[in-house]
Amino acid sequence: MIELWHRCLKTAILCHANPTWTRVLSTVMLGLRNNVMDTGSSPAEYLYGTTLRIPGEFVLPDDELSNSDPRAFIEEFRAHMQKVKPVPVGQRHKKRAFLFKDLATCTHVFLRAGTTKKALERPYTGPHKVLKRTTDRVVEIEVNGKPRSVSIENVKPAYTIRESYTEAAGDPAVATKGNELRTYANKKRVTFATERRR
């Protein structure tokens, strides 16, 4: 979330053609605080209850000042405030993790390594045997000879070779005995251009 905010801030600063970014920072921050988000409100509205006054709104035309009646303003303000309702804030993290379909029936799983990985280090350990499924979101597996309960979001199914399949296939040498590879004589000669040594 912070990285997304920094990206928006840098992009907004780059839009100004000013070489010193500190001069445009206050204008950029004012604009970002008044920017309406996907919830329909701006960060300033969440903090102060109203939008911030931007520089163009500081100066009002003379006709608006002369026609403004305090009682009419109060009535209009009351009518507006009665229509105001709280805006539900949308949850950004509604997406659930991807789950494999075979996870409910598999006998072995790979467990994601929770630590930071070094270069060329495997991201998963295992395969680990599934002992039992505690709930629809938790599975108990055997790690180093001990049972351990983990979330199914941290595992993925391990596909192993069934022994019955290899027995049914038979000896692969017998199946391919009739299909011998033929070799051909080399007709073209390949030469490489190299410099002669003197």
Range of the domain at 108: 101-157
Model confidence at 174: pLDDT above 60: no
Q: Is residue 39 part of a domain?
A: yes
108 and 147 co-located in one domain: yes
12 and 75 co-located in one domain: yes
20 and 76 co-located in one domain: yes
Q: Is residue 112 part of a domain?
A: yes
Q: Is residue 165 part of a domain?
A: no
**Residue 75: per-residue pLDDT:** 86
Mean pLDDT (whole number) for 132-155:
90
Q: Is residue 195 part of a domain?
A: no
Number of structural domains (the chain) is: 2
Q: Is residue 121 part of a domain?
A: yes
DSSP symbols for the chain: -HHHHHHHHHHHHHHS--S-HHHHHHHHHHHHHT---TTSS-HHHHHHSSPPPPGGGSSPPHHHHHH--HHHHHHHHHHHHHH--PPPPPPS--PPPP--GGGGT-SEEEEEP-SPP-TT--SEEEEEEEEEE-SSSEEEEEETTEEEEEEGGGEEE-----HHHHHHH--HHHHTSS-PPP-----S------PPP-
pTM, to two decimals: 0.38
pLDDT, tens digit, for every residue of 57-88? 655 555 555 556 778 878 888 888 888 777 67
CATH classification of the domain holding 148: 2.30.30.140
Model confidence at 94: pLDDT above 70: no
Mean pLDDT (whole number) for 159-182:
61
115 and 75 co-located in one domain: no
Q: Is residue 142 part of a domain?
A: yes
Which tops the pLDDT comparison, 165 or 190?
190
